[in-house]
A and B are shown apart, each in its own frame.
Chain A
Amino acid sequence: MFEISQAEDGTILMRGRLDAAQVERAKGVFALVQSSCEVDFNELAYISSAGLGLLFATQKRLVDAGEALRLVNLNPHIREVFQIAGFDRVFEIS
């Protein structure tokens, strides 16, 4: 199960498991992001390199425009994956 939505304040909420079979559903939402916003991982249980790749591509596009994603509420397993990937240097994580 994977769900993604964007709140009125721009915060992107992800729920469930972002795996390679689900990443296409997330692409549509991230493609529309044009300015800095928060991505709330509170209800995201799992992510693999497919989701990391999407976040990275979005961040790269935003940083080139002087904007950025901020990631919040990562569970400890996902936080470790971000550290292994070196993404704690690519994203502001809190």
Chain B
Amino acid sequence: MSTEKSFAKSLGSLDGVFDFLQQFVDKEAIAERHAFAMNLVVEELFTNMVKYSGGTDKQVVIRLDKGDQRVTLELTDFDSEPFDPESVSAVDVEAPIEERRPGGLGLHLVKTLVDDLRYEMDDRTLTVSVTKSLES
């Protein structure tokens, strides 16, 4: 099943985003630990769109698709600055606290929790698509 919904590009939309996810999780009977990861992944991607390309009245569309033992989460921002995920520095999770710097954690969590992550930039439209296996 596939479903989609538009949200204002604002942190104030997060409660609505989580409600939308919960309805999908309930309908598709997705296990709690996968649901937790889906919440986290969508929040990190959505808040990145708010933080780094906010200030417009364009909406973000979130599309959820459940396939055979996998779920695809797609977020589309129709007014985004160019974004290159490779430009984000990797987080050294092994470093001691004295050497660790804040930042970059959200994308690190996303990359770890999903099986596939794709970015597509077309003019000012940024689409981020992730696929997560529901098998393990």
Within 8 A of B (CB), among A71-94: 76-77, 81, 84-86, 89-90
Q: Which residues of A contact B58 (CB under 8 A)?
A: none
Task: Report B37 CB to chain A, min CB distance, Å.
Answer: 8
Distance of A49 Cα from B93 Cα, bound (Å): 14
The CA of A84 and the CA of B92, in the complex, are separated in Å by 11
Q: Is the interface of B mostly helix, strand, loop or mixed?
A: helix
In this complex, how many residues of chain A approach chain B with their Cβ under 8 Å: the count is 23
Report A-chain residues with C-beta under 8 Å of the C-beta of B18: 17, 19
Q: Identify which of residues 6-21 in chain A touch chain B, using a CB-to-CB cut-off of 8 Å.
A: 17, 19-21
Q: Are B14 and A19 in contact (CB under 8 A)?
A: yes
| Contacting residues of chain B (42-88) with chain A, CB-CB under 8 angstroms | 43-44, 47, 50
Provide the bound-state CA to CA distance between A56 and B104, in Å: 13
B100 in the interface (beta carbon within 8 A): yes
Report the interface size class on chain B: 20 to 34
**Contact check: which of A46, A48, A76 meets B106 at CB < 8 Å?**
A48
CB contact list, A44-66 vs B, under 8 A: 46, 48-50, 52-53, 56-57, 59-60, 63
Q: Within 8 Å CB of A59, what residues of B? A: 97
Report whether A48 and B94 are in contact in the complex, using a CB–CB cutoff of 8 Å.
no
- A81 near B40 with CB under 8 A, answer yes
7 further interface pairs, Cβ-Cβ under 8 Å (given A77-B33, A85-B91, A89-B96): A19-B18, A49-B105, A60-B97, A63-B98, A81-B109, A84-B112, A85-B108
